[in-house]
Structure 1
């Protein structure tokens, strides 16, 4: 069974003590993350130790942490965002009326708050299948979508199922003031999958690529610009012509930006105003533009099944290496 199917579990105190004692006797036990006790002398040379890195960013992290996805509002009154800079992966999707919404995936780090949180869409369920059974935090969903969410392999965490994880802010009017406390959300969840390999690779860039200072992605009623900062070694994000920042003043930016071209078709759902909800296909194959290190690379993507990995390859057919750090995936029409 694939690693992604692993789920969180808690051992009893006696079981942990027994395991610790047995492991120490064999000289094989090491302290877990967050344990400040010194590790015992390793029995192998340090060079043989396997690095602990995130499957989603390539940075040092505990890869065994649970996966939490949060649906985030992205109209002008919802900005600036809170906690978005701590996400491992940031997906941008088209929603009704040509606007966009964000699905942020957390595992390596959990900020104190994330938001503002908004409602889920049908496309989210297919996109999240590659993570196994992640937790999904959202403000709600239309009644017809409810049965699909219940049947999907996600741990649904709307306010009704995790009331202690949500708070209303006083900085802006509803519905743009609902915030999530990620730690409390995961405390309310059971059976959430740990982070696992979803197909991303990190390492040196391909040899080709075009020097690129800025790349713009347009939706019918939204616009994203990614500008390379050599000083910060990342792509700074602007939304609708304004520099994107967090509520504590940090500039949003990504080590790697993927513009993933795919099919965006009408779904069977509509919003309260009667506008059709778009459905963004994330299973299939197509082309992509990858931005890293101040260069743009032509690439291809393929995801054969909903439960399968999304594999990015170069024009020559080799696995594409992303730069280590936060990754933005902008899903847009071909």
Structure 2
């Protein structure tokens, strides 16, 4: 059964009630609730990160002063080396024009001072970022895309905003980078902790599946992302990330999605695709060297993602997840047992 959503703040309990319930003022570790942490004003806040489901440690809080910052990153040979991916909480890979892909890297628990190369938004991003009310860090976008992003109420920061600049040692347009610690100072958020992006669960709840060690997610048009399970997590075999700056994937979640036409051409004359991230489709969860098949569903663009099998609701083990939005009609996913 899907874990209930954690709220941002629990109602503070008065000192009188505490005395009546607990007595003696004993605050031993054994009495602490694992699902929350105490803060200075006596409120309790959710103690897991919304984009990983992992516990918050130390003096940190799961509610930040800034929103989730989704950075659009180029994912071609020209982007090498990509910077900042090791600090991302989650990554979504989406189809763009010419059969290529682009990354939507989600940052919340940690903000890098250098991330990129930053590229432009697509209408596909509305369904990707809206469930957590994220802001988008981008180099810009086509006029009609900007109109749709604004119409969806999504805050975005493009070239010219504080924290976004060009690296003159690189060639344009692959030379735009962002300092998210600076961008965050200008970002507005609502008062609450972001909702969990995925239905997070425990390792023990993950069903046994068939062995799957190597994965190939093909988006059509010639691009394939390859993964290998190394006994601890999944390694992206054809990543463009800098050495030591790879995304630490604990889970690879493949969602088969419908793709339509965004209604305009890119500067090279290629039709721009639009991922339709609503409805439902096939889901493949690769975790711990195993594959579990299921179904994903999303009522509308702002709705959270739910997962299920014939047996009922399905959760994703807490950790860092890479989501592949593979076109249902033109893409393909293969795997091998070794």
Asked if these proteins are the same fold (TM beyond 0.5), I'd say yes
Q: 1:151 maps to what in 2?
A: 151
Match of residue 76 from structure 1: 77
Post-superposition Cα deviations, 1:1-42, rounded to whole Å, max 9, x if no partner, equal xx9998xxxxxxxxxxxxxxx9998899xxxxxxxxxxx974
SS in 1 for 2:242: coil
- Mapped pair 1:202 → 2:187: no
User: What is the count of residue pairs matched by the alignment?
Assistant: 297
**What is the correspondence of 1:161-200 to structure 2 with a 5 Å cutoff?**
162=161, 164-191=162-189, 194-200=193-199
Alignment of 1:28-47 (within 5 A): 42=27, 45-47=30-32
Task: Tell me if structure 2 keeps the 8 A contact 1:96–1:276.
Answer: yes
Residue 282 (str. 1) matches residue 280 (str. 2): no
Moved more, 71-80 or 44-53: 44-53
User: Aligned ranges for residues 225-304 of structure 1 at < 5 Å?
Assistant: 225-230=226-231, 233-239=232-238, 244=239, 246-304=241-299
**Separation of aligned partners in 1, 2:217 and 2:321:** 16
Tell me the equivalent position of 1:17.
none
For residue 55 of structure 1, report the CA deviation from its aligned partner.
2.0
Gapped regions of structure 2 (runs ≥ 5): 19-24, 37-46, 329-338
Distance 2:304 2:233 in 1: 25
Deviations 1:284-314 (A, max 9, x none): 0011111000111111100112221110113
CA-based RMSD of the aligned residues comes to 2.7
Q: Which runs of 5+ in 1 are unaligned?
A: 7-21, 29-39
- Call closer, same or farther: CA 1:269–1:26 in 2, change over 3 Å: farther
Separation of aligned partners in 2, 1:236 and 1:26: 53
The equivalent residue for 2:335 is none
Aligned residue number for residue 218 of structure 1: 218
Hey, what does 1:318 align to over in structure 2?
Answer: 312
Once the two structures are TM-superposed, the CA of residue 333 in structure 1 deviates from its matched residue by 1.4
Structure 1 match to 2:35: 50
